[in-house]
């Protein structure tokens, strides 16, 4: 699993790669958190998540939007996710550490997740996701 930030004119564009869809979605959550807070370390705080959509792009969009919301409301920085991906749903546990203003101010404010340019594809033995975050 890995992710990299790609060049984009105004927002933040990220490419995530993983061997499974579950790992891809989990790494996308972690990439979102690192973008927002500068770091995302393992911790004991957990939050349940469940989203429904008609396709994989909708599922990852809605998962990231929900993770953004849950992070802000619950004041937690998610570092990992244990997710089950179904045809029209994602559900599982997001896990991380409590938000600490002294340690989590190194990122960029993310206003939302865009559908623009978002795509999931499979190449060889890995899944690749491109996401644009509205900052």
Nearest to residue 126, comparing CAs of 14, 31, 16, 20? 20
Domain of residue 104 covers 2-134
**pLDDT tens for residues 42-99?**
999 999 999 999 999 999 999 999 999 999 999 999 999 999 999 999 999 999 999 9
For range 22-44, the mean pLDDT: 95
- HSE on the CB side for 108, CA within 13 Å? 14
The CATH number that applies at residue 130 is: 3.55.10.10
Predicted confidence at residue 78, as pLDDT, reads 97
pTM for the predicted model, two decimal places: 0.91
**pLDDT tens for residues 13-29?**
899 999 999 999 999 99
How many domains in the chain? 1
């Amino acid at each position: 699993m890995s992710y990299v930030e790609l060049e984009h004119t105004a927002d933040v564009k990220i490419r995530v790669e993983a061997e499974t869809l579950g790992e891809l979605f989990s790494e996308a959550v972690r990439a979102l958190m690192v973008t927002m807070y500068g770091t995302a370390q393992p911790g004991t705080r957990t939050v349940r998540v469940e989203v429904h959509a008609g396709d994989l792009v909708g599922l990852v969009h809605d998962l990231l939007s929900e993770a953004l919301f849950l992070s802000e409301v619950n004041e937690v920085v998610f570092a990992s996710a244990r997710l089950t991906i179904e045809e029209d749903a994602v559900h599982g546990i997001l896990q991380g550490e409590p938000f600490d203003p002294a340690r989590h101010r190194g990122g960029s404010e993310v206003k939302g997740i865009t559908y623009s340019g978002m795509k999931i594809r499979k190449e060889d033995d890995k899944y690749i996701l491109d996401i644009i975050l509205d900052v």
